[in-house]
C-alpha cells in the first residue's frame, strides 16, 4: 500500500497536466471490463485521462436492461451513450477470469452470496470448456459475445446502433501474454488486433 500512497502524494504536484480535465469530458469509448486488478484499460489501450469512460463489474457482466430495476451499470451505459455520445463500445473479457471460471466449474459460492447472486442472475451460462484450463478462453469469449448481445436490450444502445452512431467491439485480453484479440463477425473468431 505504501508505494500507492507515495504516488498519490506526488500525483497532484503536476497541476498543469490536469487543468484541462476540469473543462469536461468527451470520451469516444465506453470500455466495459472486469473488476480484476490485472485488467487495466488505460494500460491496455494507452488511453490518457478523458479518453475512456469505464464500467468495471465482476466478470464484465452487463445486466439485462429493465426500467423497473435501475442499476449503476445501466446508468453508466445510458450516460455514456446518451449524454457523452460515445461512438464505440468495447466489452473486454480476460483470460483467467475468476467469475467465468466459477460458472464453468460450478464452484460453490455459498460463502460469497452477493457474488453468487450476481453471477447467477446477471450472467448467461458460458460455453462449456475444459474446467481444468485456467485461462477459460473459450468460455470467456462466448461470455463477451453474450454481453454484447445483452447490450442490445438497452434502448439507447439499439437506437445508436440502428442509426450508425455507435459501434460495438468484443475483446479478449490474455493476462499472461498481454495479447488482445477482437471478435471478427465475418469469421466468428477472436483474432489478434
Distances (CA, A) of 126 to 18, 102, 104, 145, 165: 41, 10, 7, 10, 30
Q: 119 CB contacts (<8 Å, ≥6 apart)?
A: 58, 59, 61, 99, 102, 103, 109
Cell triple for 170:
468484443
Nearest 5°: the CA angle 82, 55, 121 is: 100
Cell triple for 150:
445483452
Place of cell 465475418: 186
| Residue 34 annotated as part of some ligand binding site | yes
For residue 110, is it left (φ>0), alpha (ψ between -120 and 50) or beta? alpha
| Residue 183 annotated as part of some ligand binding site | no
DSSP code for 58: G
| Residue 129 annotated as part of some ligand binding site | no
* Binding-site residues for Zn(2+): 34, 36, 94, 97
* Binding-site residues: 34, 36, 94, 97
Amino acid at each position: 500500500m505504501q508505494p500507492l500512497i507515495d504516488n498519490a502524494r506526488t500525483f497532484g504536484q503536476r497541476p498543469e497536466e490536469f487543468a484541462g480535465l476540469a473543462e469536461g469530458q468527451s470520451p469516444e469509448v465506453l470500455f466495459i471490463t472486469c473488476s480484476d486488478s490485472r485488467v487495466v484499460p488505460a494500460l491496455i489501450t494507452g488511453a490518457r485521462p478523458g479518453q475512456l469512460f469505464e464500467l468495471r463489474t465482476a466478470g464484465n457482466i452487463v445486466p439485462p436492461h429493465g426500467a423497473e430495476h435501475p442499476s449503476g451499470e445501466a446508468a453508466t451505459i445510458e450516460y455514456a451513450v446518451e449524454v457523452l455520445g460515445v461512438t464505440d463500445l468495447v466489452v473486454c473479457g480476460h483470460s483467467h477470469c475468476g467469475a467465468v471460471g466459477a460458472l464453468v466449474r460450478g464452484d460453490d459460492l455459498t460463502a460469497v452470496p452477493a457474488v453468487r447472486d450476481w453471477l447467477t442472475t446477471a450472467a448467461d451460462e458460458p460455453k462449456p470448456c475444459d474446467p481444468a484450463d485456467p485461462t477459460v478462453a473459450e468460455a470467456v469469449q462466448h461470455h463477451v459475445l453474450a454481453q454484447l448481445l445483452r447490450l442490445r436490450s438497452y434502448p439507447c444502445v439499439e437506437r445508436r446502433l440502428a442509426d450508425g452512431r455507435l459501434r460495438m467491439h468484443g475483446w479478449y485480453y490474455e493476462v499472461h501474454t498481454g495479447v488482445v484479440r477482437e471478435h471478427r463477425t465475418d469469421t466468428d473468431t477472436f483474432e489478434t488486433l
